[in-house]
Every structure is written in structure tokens, then in C-alpha cells.
Structure 1
Amino acid sequence: MMICLLNEDEEVLKLEYQYCICLYVRQKKYDDLTKIGKLFQHQLFANDLQNNRIYDKDGNHWLVELFFSDDWKFMYIIMGLNASNLKYFCLYCNCQSELCWNIDQNFKNSENYAYENRKPALFPAINQKNYIPDKLHLFLRIVDVLMECFFNDVIKKKEFEKKIKLEI
């Protein structure tokens, strides 16, 4: 796990501004991660960073807001959900997997509380809206699904045999 200070502007993107706070080399399982979660939960709540803020050696008063970003699967585990392919898959609302294709339907962006077997979040000090999926993994997943649809369509319409194979 890495931590960075977002007020470092563009410097935050450089490796020397990333700080490792935890090295975890096991499988990403909720039961194993609860031990680490308890350690951080104690630190975050004991110091109450978000409410009390931080004072530096010069007496500056720093506001602290916690964020969490990772791939969708790991965020599911951290947030106490089991799998991203369940009936209520969304991290932020109660959208059912059967209804997600209906763009006329509105879902309130709050929290997935409809999930029946939800476990406690491992970092309750982090606000629900501050869990942000990693854009790279999200983009790769979208591209993967689109490519699968494309190739299924090409094979189904036999376009590959008719046109593309001849050009190769």
C-alpha cells in the first residue's frame, strides 16, 4: 500500500513522492486483510486525522482527507463486498446486474447497501465517495469487453472469412 500527498501537485506522480506504508504479499482475501485493516483503523481513528487535522513543526494546520484507489476487485474486498459479478455489482449504488443496461433508469450514487452478505468495510474512516477505481484497470476491462463483443460479432457475421481473411 502506498500513500501520497495530493497537495504536491505534479510532483505526486514521481516515484520519490510515493511512500510505502504496507507491503502485503499474500492473496487478496478479506479475512487476511482484516488484520491490516485493524492496524490502519486503529491509527486512523486513534489519531482522528480527518477531524483533528495535522500540525507540522512550523505550526501549520493541515486538513486531511483520505482516499482509496485500486482496481475494482480489490476495492470490492476492502469495502466488504465479495465479488464484482454478483446481482448488486456497483460500488456506489443498488443497481442490479439485470437492470444496468437500462439507461433510462436513475440510481442514486450513495452506497451499495442492498448486497445481502456485506461485511464491514476495512477502512471505515474513508468516506464512501472517496473510493476511486483505478482508471487503467477500468479502461482495460472496458476495452476487453468491447473487443470480445467485436470478435463475437465478426465471427457471427462471418465477416472474417469473407473480407478480413482475404486482406491478410
Structure 2
Amino acid sequence: MRAASVIGQTHKSKSHTINTKRGLDYLLSQLRKVKSCGQDRFIACCPAHHDKNPSLAIRTNGGVILLKCFAGCSTFEIVSSIGMVLAELFPESNEFRKPLKNPFPAVDVLRCIKREVMIITVTAIRIVNGEKIEKSELDRLILACSLIEVAYD
């Protein structure tokens, strides 16, 4: 069998399987504001929605790339928005490794919801001080609470 490699893609003739494995390095290269949070742990802006601050947690676990958008985007939406497929998040080998019990440490979750906590705090202070809250601010407060609830789950 002859294999040709083009931009991280391997196509083997006489095979019905096409391997488009690009992996973690490719994924990270497609994201904005990538910040390392430890070994094989990152946060970045989610490419599936208009993200101004990092809300996407990325880590590897047993060779699998794990993604969690704390704004609620699905893994499919995230990988599709950068031209990847879900299969590229998994190792090529058939070897199964037991995943970690908690794939996203609490510190990663806290980093992603830090802005939402600040929005809630500022709005609460304004309410306590008797300031009028606009509908758009109330909507943003509700969104912040929802995002924290998603992070909790």
C-alpha cells in the first residue's frame, strides 16, 4: 500500500478508510487566545461562537482530546467550525485507556467562568446600591448564571 501525506492527512490506496488525523497541535493552531494551564491542559476562545474571552477548556485524557465550551457549544460544533471531524479527537490505536474520573479539573472550570462571576458581582453591587438595571443587563446576568450552571454540571 502506498501512503501520501498532505497537510497532516494520510490517504492510503486500496483502503476504504481515510485517516484525517490532525490532533492537538492542529486544534490549538486554529484557536485564538490559547493559554496553557498545565501539562496537556489549555483554555482558548471557542471557535463555534463569537467568543471574546476564553470559554473553551481543552485537555487530553488517555490519548483522547477533550473539549468543553462553557458557553454551551457542542463538541461537534467546535470541531466542525475549524474543519475537523470528531474522529480526530481520538487516538488512532484501538487500545483503550481508562479515562480520568474528572477530566476537567476545577481550576480549569473556574478560569472559564471567571468573567461570568465578575458580571454577576458587578450587577449585584449595582442592585444593592439601588441603581436601575436595563433589560440587556438583566439578560446578560441571566446568561452568566446559566453559563455557571453549565460549568457546574
TM-score (norm 2): 0.30
Q: Max radius of gyration: which structure? A: 1
Greater share of helix residues, 1 or 2? Answer: 1
TM-score (norm 1): 0.28
